[in-house]
Amino acid sequence: MGNLLSEFWATTGLAQISIGQVVMIALACWFIYLAIKKGYEPYLLIPIATGMLLVNLPGADLMVHPVYNSAGEVVQNGGLLYYLYQGTKLGIYPPLIFLCVGASTDFGPLIANPRSLLLGAAAQFGIFATFIGAIAMGFVGPEAAAIAIIGGADGPTALYLTSQLAPDLLGPIGLAAYSYMALVPIIQPPIMKLFTTKKERQVKMEQLREVSQREKIIFPIIVIILVSSLLPSAAPLIGMLMFGNLIKESGVVPKLVETATNSLMYIVSILLGLTVGAKADAAMFLDWSTMKIVILGLIAFSIGTTAGVLLGKVMYKTSGGKINPLIGAAGVSAVPMAARVAQKVGQSENPNNYLLMHAMGPNVAGVIGSAVAAGILLMFFQ
């Protein structure tokens, strides 16, 4: 009986578990707590945290690679998450997410206030500043480019660029990008308050002009043509984003819009979140290189937010105090989280302040800006 119990124990995961796996399981549980108890972007954090949990369970082998014989035949299948991960690795899931984002986003605030493009562009400064920092910390060009894109606060863009330039870093970069997206309500407000005065935060902006349906239909077509012609490498992301917005604004394919904004969005989010989390195994994540990526990602995101707010302050001055600089923080492309944060901070200073639609302009510009930045980096390093 003793031998049987000993043999049984040896086959359990508990007998194989390492300290690193215990740490990662605890971290996954903490993320789940933040998602459920604190409400920090549960649609992102729950799948990611569950993927982390599953991949660090000893003996489960959910990310194990298939085994082939000399004839190229499969002698042992890979794990479930390994096969689901191929959609992330091959750059399929991120453009699909962009399609869904486009179908659920109103570009009207950006069209009504084209100056929002400048705020979206300013927030991308964190990407290029962090690229230099990553090079200084010993990463090679393609790796530095993939790390720097975290500053755009755009998970799908970060995953797409990393899958093309530095697939070995897909796990830590994806996890850092999505974690910072989920933590936007925690990271951004202190930066916004640090660089603005109470008077600036209280500014009430005038209502935006109404944008016609014709303008909304023409806009995505023009963006596809211009951006994809200048930066073909950005076409998968920009093309899917604008395609999604075009079907929304056309008004003639409501079933496609409903599918993209509901079923497809949630299906792809589940697959993307699980597989991003599944790359966070203890052996990879508890490594100094990964820690450097996490630190650089936070710096990139912080610089991007700061740059947007500072340009917002410039616009506040040049407009005679008509523009609230808080909307500059929404220039990072965490849609619509960053815009909601700008609204919340502004309304806490002035209960009659409604900044959401004004902030959506820079927010949408940030999505376009991060995709363009990714295209530029791909052009130089692919």
Separation of alpha carbons 128 and 105, rounded Å: 26
Output the CA–CA distances (angstroms, integers) from residue 262 to 19, 50, 109, 360, in the order listed.
40, 21, 23, 21
- Determine the pLDDT at residue 248: 96
Q: How many CB atoms lie within 10 A of CB 18?
A: 13
Given the DSSP bridges, would you call strands 67-68 and 74-76 parallel, antiparallel or unpaired? antiparallel
**What pLDDT, on the 0 to 100 scale, is given for residue 283?**
78
pLDDT at 226 (0 to 100): 93
pLDDT at 126: 85
Which amino acid, 116?
A: S
Predicted local distance difference test score (pLDDT) of residue 317: 93
- Grouping H, G, I as helix, E, B as strand and the rest as coil, residue 74 is strand
Contact between residue 97 and residue 268 where contact means Cβ atoms under 8 Å apart: yes
At residue 340's C-alpha, the angle toward residues 205 and 99, to 5°, is 110
Q: Spell out the per-residue pLDDT of the chain, length 382, in tens.
A: 666 666 665 566 566 778 888 888 998 999 899 889 888 778 888 998 999 999 998 888 888 889 888 888 888 899 999 999 999 888 899 999 999 999 999 999 999 999 888 998 888 888 888 898 889 988 999 999 999 888 777 788 888 999 889 988 887 888 788 777 777 888 899 999 999 999 999 999 988 889 999 999 999 999 999 999 999 989 999 999 999 999 999 999 999 999 999 999 999 999 998 998 888 888 777 778 888 888 888 888 889 899 999 999 999 999 999 999 999 999 887 788 889 999 999 999 998 888 989 999 999 999 898 899 899 999 888 7
Q: pTM of this prediction?
A: 0.87
Domain ranges of the chain: 106-272+287-381
Q: Say what the pLDDT of residue 1 is.
A: 62
DSSP letters, 10-56, are: HHSGGGT--HHHHHHHHHHHHHHHHHHTS-S-HHHHHHHHHHHHHHT
Please say whether the beta carbons of 147 and 293 come within 8 A. yes
pLDDT at 151: 79
**CA–CA separation, 68 and 72 (whole Å):** 5
Backbone φ and ψ for 320, nearest 5 degrees, come out as: 75, 30
Euclidean distance between the first and final Cα of the chain, in Å?
60
Q: What is the pLDDT of residue 59?
A: 82
Q: In sequence order, what are the beta bridge partners of 67?
A: 76
